[in-house]
A and B are shown apart, each in its own frame.
Chain A
Amino acid sequence: AQKVTQAQTEISVVEKEDVTLDCVYETRDTTYYLFWYKQPPSGELVFLIRRNSFDEQNEISGRYSWNFQKSTSSFNFTITASQVVDSAVYFCALSEAQGNTPLVFGKGTRLSVIA
């Protein structure tokens, strides 16, 4: 069975600090996709990034970067120079690579960025 663990329940940082959100996953599948979604206080779920299990190249997009390590089954997400607007709950999710199976979500990490 698939499982996603986000050990950090809540994180609080001061504006302009860097923050890393941890995600560890379990799956028996050899191919799979990993996702990060953001849920701001308004409640909607916003897609941030998708990574497939074949692509371990880490990526930077603006203030966001991702560190995918298959050897440790981790898919961590870093926000550089955090801003108050980054305050939200961040969810890591996992799905099989074929067949558009449902997402398995972690419990989420609530990030509070204080001005």
Chain B
Amino acid sequence: DSGVTQTPKHLITATGQRVTLRCSPRSGDLSVYWYQQSLDQGLQFLIQYYNGEERAKGNILERFSAQQFPDLHSELNLSSLELGDSALYFCASNLGGVSTDTQYFGPGTRLTVL
């Protein structure tokens, strides 16, 4: 158990809908990362937050947004869902300071868009 929690574990929805994925980092970690794992694209970085502020952005679609709250949990919002958004979404966390720290991953949320 990495200490990172993600809910829900599975999500099935229809095209055009909006969903919210939730992540709670390990105790003491300030940085949260979101990654998408799909069969064709592999593991791709979406967005990073550090202590409530956006720190880095990757290949995140405009239909997707995220935020990190004062209690450090993070939410990834996916809207106007398309079939191609079906994927496993991971959250990872680490201390996030100046020196690179290992990222520990949550169990993931498997999103299926029908």
Interface residues on A, range: 20 to 34
Measured between alpha carbons, how far is A33 from B100 in the docked complex, in Å?
Answer: 8
Pairwise interchain contact A45-B90, C-beta atoms closer than 8 A: yes
Tally B residues with Cβ within 8 Å of A.
30
State the majority secondary structure of interface residues on B.
Answer: strand
Pairwise interchain contact A99-B100, C-beta atoms closer than 8 A: yes
A25 at the interface (CB under 8 A from B): no
Within 8 A of A (CB), among B82-114: 88, 90, 92, 94-108, 110
Residues of A within 8 A of B95 (CB): 100
Query: When A43-B88, A45-B90, A91-B43 are in contact, do A98 and B98 touch as well, CB less than 8 Å?
Result: yes
Pairwise interchain contact B100-A101, C-beta atoms closer than 8 A: yes
Measured between alpha carbons, how far is A108 from B39 in the docked complex, in Å?
Answer: 11
- 26 A-B residue pairs with CB within 8 Å: A33-B100, A35-B102, A43-B108, A44-B106, A44-B107, A44-B108, A45-B90, A46-B2, A47-B2, A47-B105, A95-B100, A97-B99, A98-B99, A98-B100, A99-B98, A99-B100, A100-B31, A100-B99, A100-B101, A101-B56, A101-B100, A102-B35, A102-B58, A103-B35, A103-B45, A108-B43
Show the binding face of A for B, using Cβ within 8 Å: 33, 35, 37, 43-47, 50, 91, 95-108
Contacts A45-B105, A47-B104, A100-B101 supplied; 5 other A-B pairs, CB < 8 Å: A43-B88, A43-B110, A103-B92, A105-B43, A108-B43
